[in-house]
Amino acid sequence: MSSGSKKQKHFLITAGGTREYIDPVRFISNASSGKMGYALAQAAIEAGHKVTLISASDLQPPIGTEFVGVDSAEEMFTAVKKYFCKCDCLIMAAAVSDYTPVKTSKVKIKKSKSKLKITLKPTADILAWAGKHKKKNQIVAGFALEDKNLRQNAEKKLEEKNLDMIIANAPETIGANEAAVEIKQRLQKWVKIQEKDKNLIAAEIINLTESLLLK
């Protein structure tokens, strides 16, 4: 479907793995590359939509996106809250850290022979917040990275966080150019997409999201 034959929507997409700083030079993070989130942003633009990309990745943003760079889970949450009310669809592709240090040292922690203890606290659940605060005409989609019981755990996330769609994948997809995913919309059967380039998967996800926006 060409961009001229459908109404432009505003997609809010998150990408990359957040960084939770221990001191000015060290942080806790994860292996997320941000490739899927960026592929989704590109696919949405090519489909004729407006895109705001909130990213903790160092990748080059697709041309045409409104780019918002962040580092930490807290910064990502602040940005999502700022732009969420303006979007038609939020796709949370970012790998947001589940925990962050209770205290961050203002100076570099010097190495010593003593053990270093870092106390962590849970970060805010951005996806659950969005599911709770979405309006009737808004769509919220999330990702579930699962190393076991993929469908069961992903479907639980779909229901508990009041999402419209969940995209489930395995750890092998992290950093890869290709991926296999399983997608479930609320009250619909699972759809399995065999391993293929993330750009092609992203186009299919945007297409499915568009169908939800038309309902």
Q: Rounded to an integer, what distance in angstroms lies between the CA atom of residue 5 and that of residue 152?
A: 38
Q: In terms of DSSP H, where are the helices of the chain?
A: 35-46, 73-84, 126-133, 150-160, 198-213
Instruction: Write out the catalytic residue numbers.
Output: 30
At 11, list the tokens: 């997609």
Residue type, 203: A
The helix (run of H) or strand (run of E) holding residue 93 is none
Q: Rounded to an integer, what distance in angstroms lies between the CA atom of residue 52 and that of residue 18?
A: 17
Q: Rounded to an integer, what distance in angstroms lies between the CA atom of residue 65 and that of residue 11?
A: 10
Write down the pLDDT at residue 5: 55
Residue 85 C-alpha from the chain's centroid? 17
Report phi then psi at 132, rounded to 5: -75, -35
Q: What is the pLDDT of residues 36-91, one digit of tens each?
A: 999 999 999 999 999 999 999 999 999 999 999 999 999 999 999 999 999 999 99
Enter the CATH code of domain 8-100+120-213.
3.40.50.10300
Rounded to two decimals, what is the model's pTM? 0.93
Write down the pLDDT at residue 2: 43
Write down the pLDDT at residue 4: 46
